[in-house]
Amino acid sequence: MKAYKYFDNVDTDVIIPARYLNHSEPAYLASHCMEDIDEAFAETVKSGDFMVAGENFGCGSSREHAPIAIKAAGIEAVIAKSFARIFFRNAINIGLPIIEQTECAEECQTGHELSVDLKAGIIENKTLQKTYQFEPFPDFLLEIVNHNGLIEKLKEKGV
Amino acid sequence: MGMTMTQKILAAHCGAAELKVGNFIEADLDLVLGNDITAPVAIKSYEALKAQKVFDKNKIALVPDHFAPNKDIEAAQQCKTMRLFARENEITNYFEIGEMGIEHALLPEKGLVVAGDVVIGADSHTCTYGALGAFSTGIGSTDMGVGMATGKCWFRVPSAIKINMTGQLNQWVSGKDVILHLIGQIGVDGARYKSLEFTGEGLESLTMDDRFTMANMAIEAGAKNGIFEVDAKTIAYIAQHSKRTPKVYAADADAVYDEEITIDLSALKPTVAFPHLPENTKTFGEFGEIKVDQVVVGSCTNGRFDDLKITAEILKGHKVHQDIRMIIIPATQKIYMDAMKAGFIETFIEAGAVVSTPTCGPCLGGYMGILAEGERAVATTNRNFVGRMGHKTSEVYLASPAVAAMTAIKGYIASPEAE
């Protein structure tokens, strides 16, 4: 599916501006996702598409509304050179796959066709006819991701 | 191998004698914080867990501050959700607007955090309490919901950057300039996943308000937490505000740091972060005359008593420039009252500034001072991202209260040093 490419330091204020934080419904948040830097995103994004960016993706506020908006927009995974730490844990906690892969993040452009195999740790850029490997998560995080988030993991284990 | 201050606090909270960088741990929490934006989402997570009750009704703090007093119907609903949850669960530290304040100014003032604590808050500026020698960090709503149910949170043990401060700040230079200088030096991801540990002989000259401002913006360098070595000033502050006994942790002499950075406080000058990243710092002389439409003094970064004091000292006997809208927001009701008793509020109103009840309001583009297309603000707040304070073409310049006050008088970004 298609990639949407952004730059370094994509912050949570542009992922979902605070003026929409008086709501928390995922579909509403998704409808305003990225609008201050990419008006077309929410209109054109399709389920299974990817977001690709540079360093420090998701920097800024702790609003979980940011990964919620991205996930609800249909994004299958975010691929970046690096992630800001609160966004990183929020994405893991809600079951939004995030992948650190510098070379792929560098070479991919908006419109490139991508596919990701999370278990095998492989990204394929079909447009460039190139594959990239990425490190699987450490076991501790993998367990959360495999449960589709922290809440489901804890529900299974019991609080 | 020695541990950093942060590693020692985390070790003590997960029953480990020693921790290594990269270890995953589950730490016991001393306080879980949320606000009117993040708590409603956390309450959904909490309810999904079907916990019998919260882990400790005295160790949860809920503060309506971002869009409170309620800015619109939706915000009112969010505040109501949090209020009802607080009542139902008998949360001791719920602060209704009459006794509230911006969370990160309020919690230290109420004595809810002391040295040695582990605190999580569903707000990125939770790192503020590092000024008290606590490990405190921002997390999301899911972590907050889980924290309220279990009293625990997962962490990956961070490495650290040691900030060694020497010398003393000059007049008109404050904690805001120190932290902006550091962010300018290492970048908005310079401390990503790491602790910033502030120490050195320069520490002594920094007021607690300076330290709160600096720890507050550790996140703006990507840090997991910013923490200050505990000294006599910290202990005195805690004794004055809290009934709890602090537990002081010091970094081991052989603690390993990724990097050591020395900052000579006496060499620092008033510093401004240009749009649209806090790392875009400049000092006066590096830019020309930049006209401004609005000046904001407030926020969890710089809405404390010392911030209002310097603002009043500069504004006294002057008028806010006719092209400037100046908005001053004391961070808590107590700070508001203290500022009133000290005569600052009268000075502000005489100068032509407006004074608001405590709220995060304009800092995150909520309300109480939103920018129109192409407008420019100097703000003592913490972020200057695209669209942060309003329209996507508006601009925010981050600075200290002293620079903000002088800018309000002049109409363009101005240094108090020039006077």
Q: Tell me the CATH number at A106.
A: 3.20.19.10
Each residue of A30-88: pLDDT tens digit? 999 999 999 999 999 999 999 999 999 999 999 999 999 999 999 999 999 999 999 99
Q: What is the pLDDT of residue A157?
A: 80
By the CB < 8 Å criterion, does B34 face chain A? no
Cβ of A14 within 8 Å of Cβ of B387? The answer is yes
Judge whether A152 and A93 are in contact, CB under 8 Å: no
Q: Can you tell me which residue has the tokens 């000033």?
A: B233
Q: What is the pLDDT of residue B377?
A: 98
Q: In what order do the strands lie in the sheet with B325-328?
A: B281-283, B271-273, B395-398, B376-379, B294-297, B325-328, B354-355
Q: Can you tell me which residue has the tokens 């690096």?
A: A82
By the CB < 8 Å criterion, does A47 face chain B? no
Cβ of B193 within 8 Å of Cβ of A159? The answer is no
Among A14, A19, A22, A82, the residue to mutate for chain B (most B Cβ within 10 A): A22
Q: Which residue has the higher pLDDT, A60 or A156?
A: A60
Q: Of B308, B339, B130, whose CA–CA distance to B234 is shortest?
A: B130
Alpha helices in B169-304 (DSSP H): 175-186, 208-216, 232-241, 299-302
Q: What is the pLDDT of residue A119?
A: 85
Q: Which 8-state DSSP code applies to residue B395?
A: E
pLDDT along chain B (419 residues), means of 10: 96 96 97 98 97 97 98 98 98 96 98 98 98 98 98 97 98 98 98 98 98 98 98 98 98 97 98 98 98 98 98 98 98 98 98 98 97 98 97 98 98 90
Q: Which of A13, A149, A155 shows the shortest C-beta gap to B385? A: A13
Each residue of B260-302: pLDDT tens digit? 999 999 999 999 999 999 999 999 999 999 999 999 999 999 9
The sign of the CA dihedral B207, B210, B214, B215 is positive
* Residue-by-residue DSSP string for B99-131: G-B-HHHHHHHTT---TT-EEEESSGGGGGGGG
By the CB < 8 Å criterion, does B365 face chain A? yes
Q: What is the pLDDT of residue A136?
A: 85
Counting one residue from chain A and one from chain B, the pairs whose CB atoms sit within 8 A come to 137
Across all residues in chain B, what is the average pLDDT? 97
Binned at pLDDT 50, 70 and 90, residue A145 comes out as confident
Judge whether A148 and A93 are in contact, CB under 8 Å: no
Q: Structural domain of residue A37, as residue ranges? A: 3-157
Q: What is the pLDDT of residue B296?
A: 98
Q: What is the pLDDT of residue A127?
A: 98
Instruction: Compute the nearest-CA separation of B42 from chain A (Å).
Output: 9
Per-residue exposure over B165-176, b if at least 16 CB sit within 10 Å of its own CB, e if not: bebebeebbbbb
Instruction: Compute the nearest-CA separation of A127 from chain B (Å).
Output: 31
3-state secondary structure of B231: coil
Instruction: Compute the nearest-CA separation of A155 from chain B (Å).
Output: 6
Domain B5-264 in this protein, CATH class: alpha beta
Interface ipTM? 0.96
Each residue of B16-67: pLDDT tens digit? 999 999 999 999 999 999 999 999 999 999 999 999 999 999 999 999 999 9
Q: How far apart are CA B298 and CA B377, in angstroms?
A: 13
For the cut 90, the answer to whether the pLDDT of residue A159 exceeds it is no
Q: In what order do the strands lie in the sheet with B259-264?
A: B225-228, B195-199, B160-166, B259-264
Each residue of B340-366: pLDDT tens digit? 999 999 999 999 999 999 999 999 999
Q: What is the pLDDT of residue B419?
A: 65
Intervals of CATH 3.30.499.10 along chain B: 5-264, 272-418
Residue B337 contacts by C-beta under 8 Å, 6 or more apart in sequence?
Answer: none
Task: Taking residues A105-132, report their average pLDDT.
Answer: 96
By the CB < 8 Å criterion, does B39 face chain A? no
Domain count, chain A: 1
B14 labelled as ligand-binding? no
Q: Which of A24, A56, A60 shows the shortest C-beta gap to B124? A: A60
Model's pTM, two decimal places? 0.97
- Please give the residue of chain A at the shortest CA–CA distance from B67: A22
Residue B191 contacts by C-beta under 8 Å, 6 or more apart in sequence?
Answer: B161, B218, B221, B222, B223, B224
Q: What letter represents residue A131's amino acid?
A: T
For the cut 90, the answer to whether the pLDDT of residue A96 exceeds it is yes
Count of H helices and E strands in chain B? 13, 18
Domain covering B272-418, topology: Aconitase; domain 3 (3.30.499)
Residue B69 contacts by C-beta under 8 Å, 6 or more apart in sequence?
Answer: B97, B357, B359
Cβ of B75 within 8 Å of Cβ of A59? The answer is no
Judge whether B107 and B118 are in contact, CB under 8 Å: no
Residues constituting chain B: 419
Q: What is the pLDDT of residue B116?
A: 98
